[in-house]
Structure 1
Amino acid sequence: MDEQDLNKLKRRITSSFKLSGFLIRTDNSTFLAEQLFPFEETEREKWLTVIIENLQNQRLETVQVERSVLEKAINEINRVGLEEGETVFSLINSYSIPRFNYNSQTKKFERDTTARKIFAKPSMKSGYLRERYAMLLQKTLRHELFAPAVIEGGVSADSRAKKFKLLYAENLLASSSVKEAVVLGLLTQIIEGKFFVEDPTGYVELDLSAARFHSGFFCEGCFVLAEGTFNNGVLKVDGLGFPPAEPASSSRAFFGTQNTWGGDSTKLLKYSNRLQEVERTNTEATIVFLSDVRLDAPKVMEKLKMLFEGYDSCPPAAIVLMGPFVTANRNHYELRDHFTALGALAAGCDHLKKQTDLILVPSSDDPTAANILPRPPLPALLTAGLQKAWPRTLLATNPCRLQYCTQQITVCRLDLMTKFCRNTLHFPTDTENIDQHFARTIICQGHLTPIHPIAIPVYWDYDPALWLYPLPDIVVIGDSCQSFSISQHGCTVLNTGSFVKSKFGFKVYIPSTRTIEDSEIPDQME
């Protein structure tokens, strides 16, 4: 960046602002000059005129223009044609995600505005499981296997399809025997060594000795459909499966136009025609995902520098870095220096720093927070050096949500595959399709961590932040196991794999085509 040309542009900005009745401090004129500098001179004049017009429309209380006002003007200009609350890209942290409860009378989800707390009242220990059960129950009852048959002209339209009647635990406990029983409930171990299925009406002991397990990982703490014969207080299970999955388009019908995803908009951006057009036409937009980014490893820093320099000519919408950011058992206070060094890697990448959001998602091994989900963002104190060098750095919770135009993306840094494999009652026999079982488990459960809270603790009041209902467009898991990408029921489950263990591989998502590319940083850049 030519210092002489930059100073000339700053003087032009100051002069234009004065002629329009505004005053601007040197630091703010420098900020605006840096934003306009990459454009040609004629384009700079156009942008400067539009920015001043925007400031005049803001009806400022003082003639002194602050940086926050400038940023607001630039953001509004960047989303010309969009309505209030519509943004092309945004990060949504877990603690701001709205919560909805199912109303069985109206058969609709209603927003719960009750204040939430990290340390919730004791009733929420079972309350969050009841809410999850209600969510799964209502979509199960709508499924063609359980929905009442439609009668047309005296003949059932579904007469060829076998129908099941869903029973509750109290229905079985009130009978001595039931030949064909199907129960939806929580798989739990109330007595050590014995498994039960539990719903809000009671619990029933299971005999799994002859059970046929459907696809997926059946861990204690997940909800299952148990089919079998009930006799003498025990349900002898013939088949054990998951609640059926439901496409997002069907699920959203029971929320109306309410914003279930989170963010500033009052309406769900999924229905925005303007954002759909931006998404379709912006074919160069990408989102980059890396996990297990250990900044204390010199080789990792070398590869990240190559990554930043390579993307400077074609900046993505966002680069998502997932932890752990330091090797285990290291001094976590060194992390502050590592983040400052990370900012220094992009010193010459001006286009990248101005156009790309750098998103940091912590892992359970990163400092200053308990190993409970949702995990708070990294402390700003540790990332101050990076944020100064790269102002568009965003600190995310784990998990978090991304909104790109109309597309919904869930990001979670957790070694889920290991948890599922260690805690499942029945390990899938077709191990070559283990990724399919993984994807089916979280999609059918409608939840990121359908497992006993001892294995993965969750803040009870914030459990809805881990829901995958309605299903998002893509679920990005930062698991250190082998990377994979699986699509089921209109939802893509992507595992990034480990940046360190995979020879510095990462994933690139292209929203305009909804495709995922496998990428790798070579030993030498061409």
Structure 2
Amino acid sequence: MDTANRENKENLYASSLVSPTALRPVAFHVFTRKYDLNINRDSLQELAAYVSKKCGSQWRSQCEPLLDEIAKTWKRLHDSEPIVTKPLLSSLLANLAVPHEARTASFSRAPTLDSTNSLLRSSSTQVRDALHENDYFRVIDSFQLPKRIYDSNRKTFISSKSSPSLLAPASSSVEMLHRRFHVVFNRILRNENFQNPSFSGSFSQTNSHQITPIRNLLGRSGGEFLLFGILSVAPDGKLWLEDLDSQVQLDISIATFGFGHFCAGCFVLVNGQFLDSGVFLVSEVGHPPIERREASLKALSQVDSFGSNLDANQLNLLRHAEQAYKSPFVFLSEVHLDDTRCLQALEKIFQKYEYAELLPACVILCGSFTSTAFHNSGSSLDYKEGFNKLALTFAKFPRISKDCRVIFVPGPNDPWTTYGLSLMPKRAIPLHFVNRIQRICKHAIFTSNPCRISFFSQEIVIYREDITGRFQRHGLKGSNASSQNAQSDSLPLEEQQLYQNRKLVKTILDQSHLSPFHPRTRPVLWDFDYSLSTFPLPNCLAIVDSQIPAFNIHYGGCLALNPGPLILGLHYNWQEFHPVTKQVTAFHERL
């Protein structure tokens, strides 16, 4: 019997062009690295036979999208089964509608498209029309964002097996900081300046940096080292640097700080000397180097933080389609509905777009929607009345109300703030207050702060926080602080503001986190901290800070913008963001 079975297997793979051994690396990359699935030997043999049947002699160039389709279907049907077993796989393959020649995987949110190649040969408008609306525009609430944990061994993100909780255990606080550490640390190690030379000798690079773990400082006093860790301030006011398993006290009396904001909670690179007293005398402090979005996605095997499981071919299809999209995103901030000037400004802005040839893709209204903090006003009726007035304003513009998406992002004064303490991320405005808006605006979306927009192939992050003032209150100052301030003060007013804005943008993006403060300084919901991550870099980051003027800055391939407050003196302000060209148009008009 065993001999007969062996002969049958040999006959099967003799006729097959794909052996399990040859297929294993590709299957591991797709199933394990990308979708966190494990394949046993029997399943691998089944896949090899199936790939041979579908791809023939072209299997090396065609098998990856086919395996991607299979893995994606498995996740959809058997998400609770991390091990791909042969019986379930055989049933899946028998029912999988894949043509004879392998094609790219279909969109998970829409019916399968006939041919990616034929679509790419079509015009951008034809491609866009072939896609469903949800394929290219989605608003993702922070509390609905799929939770992915960082696997430091695989150096990629994998789906979490547990759902996040508002009342997370204490261990989640540690896991939160570990996740931040691994994300930034592995990003640093991928930087060419921190990679060891591949061979020694006269041709090797001598200027590469090597990070020393803090625990390795023991017994090595007098030497100079480069350290990496998180800054923290002890109850006695002393500054410490911590990594995963050790800590060291810092002396920054002679330290030179690099460009950016530095405060407790930031992950930094520290250069200096370890003293006999056990204190690390710091000479230089800097933020980690930036990593562009394309490099991060490549390192993470194109991981999709939105859970839509799009592969590289599908992303190319979306990039092609978005070229035909001309409608802008409209950003407004600090829309106080209890201020008649704000309502007047909104009417003038809506009138401009009501009769325009192209409606905006969306109008993004960022809070606070009241000038007085909700928890101090003592009445929810006044808060609701503000939205009722806004609903009457929308009713005057039927084209916007019917066809335009209107997105509401809460601010510091809006509900879900307890005694002035606001945890991040912040939930959407309760629907009880906005039922009249929902009746009039057919596409009104009330989402969290922060939130994300998936637009074709792009990721847009919206974060409403007066963060500049928080950095200034909690920032650390080095020996070169006075010279930096003097240099900034010598500039014209506009250049001074640009200097400060660049510091803000660089700090947030270098830290790969929207709130790079210590949890004691800026409390966050531990289990939802992943929703504050800016890794990989988004295509656009809206840092909505009402305390500073409007700006737009390009850094590391990311466009950062701030629309500024809606009302500023006798003028009203807003911004248009054009996602295809990555350009921002700022408007400043008199009331």
TM range (shorter): 0.7 to 0.9
- Name 1:458's counterpart in structure 2: 524
Matches within 5 A, 1:325-404: 325-328=369-372, 329-330=376-377, 331-370=379-418, 371-404=422-455
Partner of 1:287: 329
Please point out which of 393, 416, 425 is paired with 2:467. 416
**Deviation of 1:286 (Å):** 0.5
Check if 1:507 corresponds to 2:549: no
In 1, are the aligned partners of 2:407 and 2:447 still within 8 Å (CA)?
yes
Secondary structure at the aligned position of 2:194 is classed as coil
Q: Deviations over 1:446-482 (max 9, x none)?
A: 0011012233210011111000000001110110112
Partners of 2:155 and 2:587 in 1: how far apart? 45
Separation (CA, whole Å) in 2 of partners of 1:111 and 1:255: 13
Q: Which residue of 2 aligns with 1:26?
A: none
Give the SS at the match of 1:250.
helix
Q: Distance in 2 between matches of 1:339 and 1:78?
A: 38
Q: Kindly indicate whether the alpha-carbon contact (under 8 Å) linking 1:110 and 1:255 is maintained by their aligned counterparts in 2.
A: no
What is the correspondence of 1:189-268 to structure 2 with a 5 Å cutoff?
189-232=233-276, 233-260=278-305, 262=306, 265-267=308-310
Pick the structure with more helix per residue: 2
Q: Do the aligned partners of residues 269 and 114 (structure 1) sit closer, same or farther apart at CA in structure 2, a change above 3 Å counting?
A: farther
Question: Contact 2:427 / 2:447 at 8 angstroms: preserved in 1?
Answer: yes
Alpha-carbon distance between aligned partners in 1 of 2:555 and 2:367, rounded to the nearest angstrom? 27
Residue-by-residue CA offset, 1:495-514 (whole Å, 9 max, x unaligned): 22111226210111011211
Contact 2:403 2:442 in 1 (8 A): no
Partner of residue 165, structure 2: 117
User: Cα RMSD (Å) of the superposition?
Assistant: 2.2
Deviation by residue 1:183-225 (Cα, 9 ceiling, x = unmatched): 1111011242210100111100101011010011111111111
Quote the residue 2:40 is aligned against: none
**Structure 1 contact 307–521 (Cα < 8 Å) conserved:** no
**1:166 aligned counterpart, secondary structure:** coil
Structure-1 separation of matches of 2:311 and 2:366: 27
* 2:25 counterpart residue number: none
CA offset at residue 78 of structure 1? 11
Q: What is the TM-score of this pair, normalised by structure 2?
A: 0.71
Inter-partner Cα distance in structure 1 for 2:524 and 2:331 = 25
Corresponding residue SS for 1:327: coil
d(CA) in 1 for partners of 2:282, 2:258? 12
Secondary structure, counterpart of 1:186 in structure 2: strand
Q: Which of 308-317 and 363-372 deviates more? A: 363-372
SS at 2:568 equivalent:
coil
After superposition, residues 76-225 of structure 1 pair within 5 angstroms as 80-82=129-131, 87-151=135-199, 154-159=201-206, 162-172=207-217, 174-225=218-269
Query: Could you report, residue by residue, the CA deviation over 1:50-96 in whole angstroms, capped at 9, with x for unpaired residues?
Result: xxxxxxxxxxxxxxxxxxxxxx99xxx9964237x952211111012
SS at match of 1:326: coil
Aligned-partner Cα distance in 2 for 1:78–1:348: 34
Separation in structure 1 between the aligned mates of residue 337 and residue 174 of structure 2, nearest angstrom: 40
In the aligned structure 1, how far is the partner of 2:551 from the partner of 2:293?
Answer: 22
The secondary structure found in structure 2 opposite 1:311 is helix
- On the 8 A contact 2:230/2:243 being kept in 1, the answer is yes
Give the 3-state SS of the residue equivalent to 2:395 in structure 1.
coil
Q: How does 1:37-48 map to 2 (within 5 A)?
A: none
Determine if contact 1:270/1:406 at 8 Å carries over to the other structure.
Answer: no
Offset of residue 369 of structure 1: 4.2
d(CA) in 2 for partners of 1:178, 1:133: 27
Mapping 1:306-321, distance limit 5 Å: 306-314=348-356, 315-321=359-365
Contact 1:181 1:230 in 2 (8 A): yes
Cα shift at 1:157: 4.4
Which residue pairs with 1:519 in the alignment?
587
Aligned-partner Cα distance in 2 for 1:175–1:98:
45
2:442 match: secondary structure: coil
Q: Which residue of 2 aligns with 1:296?
A: 338
* Greater shift in the superposed pair: 356-365 or 184-193: 184-193
User: Residue deviations 1:412-436, cap 9 Å, x none?
Assistant: 1100000001110125524321111
Contact in 2 for aligned 1:398/1:412 (Cα 8 Å): yes
- Letter of the aligned partner of 2:253 in structure 1? S
Identical positions, percent: 29
What CA deviation, in whole Å up to 9, does each residue of 1:27-56 have, x standing for no partner?
Answer: xxxxxxxxxxxxxxxxxxxxxxxxxxxxxx
CA distance in 1, matches of 2:312, 2:385: 39
Structure 2 residue aligned with 1:496, among 563, 573, 583? 563
Q: Aligned partners of 1:105 and 1:205: how far apart in 2?
A: 29
Distance 2:581 2:474 in 1: 37
What is the match of residue 13 of structure 2?
none
1:104 and 1:117 mapped to 2: Cα distance?
A: 23
SS at 2:249 equivalent:
strand
Where 2:181 maps in the other structure, the secondary structure is helix
Q: 1:434 aligns with which of 474, 489, 500?
A: 500
Label 1:281 to 1:80 Cα distance change in 2 as closer, same or farther (>3 A): closer
User: What is the CA distance between 1:227 and its match in structure 2?
Assistant: 0.5
Distance 2:222 2:184 in 1: 24
Contact 1:474 1:493 in 2 (8 A): yes
Q: State the Cα deviation string for residues 356-404 of structure 1 (Å, max 9, x = none).
A: 1111100121124441000000000100011101121100100000122
Task: Tell whether the 8 Å contact from 2:128 to 2:322 is kept in structure 1 after alignment.
Answer: no
Q: In the alignment, which of 318, 321, 329 is matched to residue 275 of structure 1? A: 318
Q: Is 1:482–2:527 an aligned residue pair?
A: no
CA distance in 2 between counterparts of 1:88 and 1:108 reads 25
Partner in structure 1 of residue 94 of structure 2? none
Q: How many aligned residue pairs are there?
A: 441
Q: Tell me the CA shift for residue 294 of structure 1.
A: 0.2
Residue 258 of structure 1 and its aligned partner are, at CA, apart by: 3.0
Structure 1: gaps (5+ residues): 1-71
Return the alpha-carbon distance in structure 2 between the equivalents of residues 387 and 307 of structure 1.
20
Whose strand fraction is larger, Structure 1's or Structure 2's?
1
Question: 8 Å contact 1:295–1:338 — kept in the other structure?
Answer: yes
